[in-house]
Amino acid sequence: MLEVQNLSMRFGGLLAVDQVSLDVNEREIVSIIGPNGAGKTTVFNCMSGFYKPTGGKILFQGQEVQGKPDYKISRLGMVRTFQHVRLFNNMTVVENLLVAQHRHLNTNLLAGLLKTPDYRERERKSLDRAAYWLNRVGLMDMANREAGNLAYGQQRRLEIARCMVTEPKLLMLDEPAAGLNPAETKDLNQLIVSLKEDYCVSVVLIEHDMSLVMDISDRINVINQGRPLASGTPEEIRQNDDVIKAYLGEA
């Protein structure tokens, strides 16, 4: 469903991403790994429309999306999280989830002001959807807390829930396990697998936690210094000499 072809991104003299290709099928978890500064986040930023790539193509469900504005790409069903959690900190947890559903609710202002039955119905649905996902990520008790006051692990989960209420087709997670303790990482592992199994989303995952990556990925792409280094199943990557060299070289 997603095809990235020869994507390049240049910042002045720095070629941060160089001819990276990637494809993701329906209900698949594809990981992008690589040492720090390899250009993983930059690939995401190009895919989500945050940067306009300097070269290459991005096809989402057959449609070229490179260079489209970020909010339009997100409306197509490609939603992302951020390496540094970005919540609406002064809004409550539920409000964070309601904001994300603005499009399901978006009718004209008058319908909302007058509380037409149709509007109420949609509002109730979006509340239910929010409640469902809060339950799903175990944040129901925090519903009316301000998002900024949550513990780090909870914020990470809320960010994923906030993506899921938009009912995406493809979810891009940028280091979702960073800063989580082992128990939380285990929950995250199950959550991501269930997103694929139960909610039919494809996931593109950037992650440094190798056991998580090896455990849940269907395929893995390795990038080093902006260039694609290897790609294949976890088993193939584990045995790939180039990858071992790159990681050992870094260490």
Partner 1 sequence: MAANNLKHALFCAVVTLVIAYPILGLNLEAQGINVTLEGADASTVISVLAAAVVVFLFQLFRDNILSVLKSVPSPLPKSQKEPMAENKRARIESWVLTGIVILALFWPFFVSRGAVDLATLVLIYIMLALGLNVVVGLAGLLDLGYVAFYAVGAYTFALLSQYAGVSFWVALPIGACLAALFGFTLGFPVLRLRGDYLAIVTLGFGEIIRILLNNWTSLTGGPNGVGGIPDPTLFGMEFGRRVKEEGNVSFHETFGIAYSGEHKVIFLYLIALVLAVFTALVIRRFMRMPVGRSWEALREDEIAARSLGMSRTAVKLSAFTIGAFFAGFAGTVFASKQGFISPESFVFLESAIILAIVVLGGMGSQIGVVLAAIAVTILPELAREFSEYRMLIFGAAMVLMMIWRPQGLMPVRRIHIELSKQE
Ligand X SMILES: Nc1ncnc2c1ncn2[C@@H]1O[C@H](COP(=O)(O)OP(=O)(O)OP(=O)(O)O)[C@@H](O)[C@H]1O
Whether residue 97 contacts residue 143, with contact meaning beta carbons closer than 8 Å, is answered with: no
Give φ, ψ of 153 to 5 degrees: -60, -40
Residue 141 CB neighbour total at 10 angstroms: 9
Minimum CB–partner distance for residue 28 and partner 1 (Å): 22
Question: Is residue 14 at the binding interface for ligand X, with CB under 6 A as the rule?
Answer: yes
Minimum CB–partner distance for residue 216 and partner 1 (Å): 23
Q: Report d(CA 26, CA 61) in Å as an integer.
A: 10
According to CB under 6 A, which one of 7, 24, 33, 34 is a site residue for ligand X? Answer: 34
Whether residue 100 contacts residue 162, with contact meaning beta carbons closer than 8 Å, is answered with: yes
Q: Report d(CA 174, CA 159) in Å as an integer.
A: 11
Q: Report d(CA 29, CA 195) in Å as an integer.
A: 10
- Which residue lies nearer to ligand X by CB, 42 or 231? 42
Question: Is residue 225 at the binding interface for Mg ion, with CB under 5 A as the rule?
Answer: no
According to CB under 6 A, which one of 4, 24, 41, 87 is a site residue for ligand X? Answer: 41
Question: Is residue 83 at the binding interface for Mg ion, with CB under 5 A as the rule?
Answer: yes
Minimum CB–partner distance for residue 157 and partner 1 (Å): 15
Structure tokens at 90: 């002064």
H-assigned helices in 84-199: 93-100, 102-105, 109-114, 117-136, 152-164, 182-199
Q: Tell me which residues touch partner 1 (CB under 8 A).
A: 48, 50, 69-72, 74-75, 79-80, 82, 86-92, 94-95, 98-103, 105-106, 109, 112-113, 127-128, 130-132, 134-135, 140, 143-144, 146, 162-163, 166
For ligand X, the binding residues (CB under 6 A) are 11, 14, 16, 34, 36-42, 83
